[in-house]
Amino acid sequence: MKDGIVALFGLMAIVFLPVANANTDVVVFTNGDRLTGEVKLLERGKLSFKTAATDTISIEWDDVASLKSDQNIQVETESGDRFLGHLGAASSEGKVLVETTTGAVQLDVDRIVLMHPIEKKGIARFDGDITAGFNFAKANAMRQAHFGLDLEARTETRIFSLNMYSVTSDSADNSSSQRHSADISYQRLLADRWLIGAVLRLERNDELQLDLRTSLGVGGGRNILQTNSSTVSLIGGLQVSRENVSGNELDEDTLEAFATLNWDWFRYDTPELDFSTELQIIPNLTDSGRVRAELDISMKWEIVEDLFWELAFYDSFDSDPVVLGAEENDYGLVASLGWEF
């Protein structure tokens, strides 16, 4: 029994602890300064870099002249080209040399939009953020609680993500109302910024009298634009949805198409800002004429390192609700605090 427990803890250590790193990566700044440490991530115009003295710090990517690393790092450019290998000594400033298995490739620093160490293991693979908020108004004893969680894990050619969102509201004049959603998605990255994938989504919305909607979809799309200040993507496909609604003993199964447009704009200069918009149009192929839509807009404003304030707007629309007399729209505005990790 004791040996089994020891073996179990050993297995957990292998899965969840990151591989030890000698902190031999070197970043050289445009002013000639340099730091030695470990590359953690380049995304959205900032390089996360860990040193023994400062732990993990954020560096503006346009302040970097060159970078060396013994880690196995995937480098992606604005055009969607991806290269995997160690980062060697470039021939000049403003260049990054990727030593791939098929030969060395030298890239301009200002064309690189993503760097992600592939050797991460277990929980170290995940990046994300968590938000929480609470609003109260004395006039009608209105209370609103909000919780959100976004997680993403990336390999050389795949992205796995988990997104959860919850808003609960009640007041002296109205009964409690809940809006919850959770989705698990998988994306396979192809050449020239194309991708394919699948998503499983669970939704509940009391305002629309929806107890549970379960959707399973497949599709594909393209990252139309990706720079160190903005990204635009368009994804479409088909999904099968099962709806369980208030007062209806029978579940309703439908086939739907969907088209999703995402636009993110971000600024790393202090204060760091992140503005995101997602619009999804969902025409029903089984019930002709019925169209659903989801709109989510959020703005994040950094307060201190990794701590941010978020203002989010959501709107859910259904042109022909399953329950007669149910609301066609549910919308709201939520303010919360969040933490990136």
Report if pTM > 0.85. no
Of residues 316 and 248, more confidence is placed in 316
Asked whether the domain spanning 124-340 has the same topology as the one spanning 22-119, the reply is: no
Check whether 45 has a pLDDT greater than 50.
yes
pLDDT at 131: 92
What average pLDDT is seen over the chain?
Answer: 85
pLDDT at 56: 82
- SS3 of 270-283: CCCEEEEEEEEEEE
What's the pLDDT tens digit per position in 172-230?
677 778 899 999 999 999 999 999 999 999 999 888 888 899 999 999 999 999 998 89
pLDDT at 11: 41
CA-to-CA dists, residue 90 to 81, 86, 109, 149, 251, angstroms? 19, 12, 11, 39, 61
Would you kindly state where each structural domain of the chain is located, as residue ranges? 22-119, 124-340
Check whether 84 has a pLDDT greater than 60.
yes
CATH superfamily, domain 124-340, is: monomeric porin ompg (2.40.160.40)
CA-to-CA dists, residue 158 to 154, 186, 197, 264, 278, angstroms? 6, 7, 9, 20, 21
- Is the torsion defined by CA of 106, 110, 113, 118 positive or negative? positive
What's the pLDDT tens digit per position in 266-307?
887 767 889 999 999 999 999 889 999 999 999 999 888 778
Check whether 7 has a pLDDT greater than 70.
no
**C-beta of residue 317 within 8 angstroms of C-beta of residue 327:** no
**Which residue is associated with the tokens 């999703």?**
260
Confidence of residue 120 (pLDDT cuts 50, 70, 90): low
The candidate with the shortest Cα–Cα distance to 180, out of 157, 148, 151, 154, is 148
Confidence of residue 20 (pLDDT cuts 50, 70, 90): very low
Given the candidates 1.10.10, 2.30.30, 3.30.310, 1.10.1060, the CATH classification of the domain at 22-119 is 2.30.30
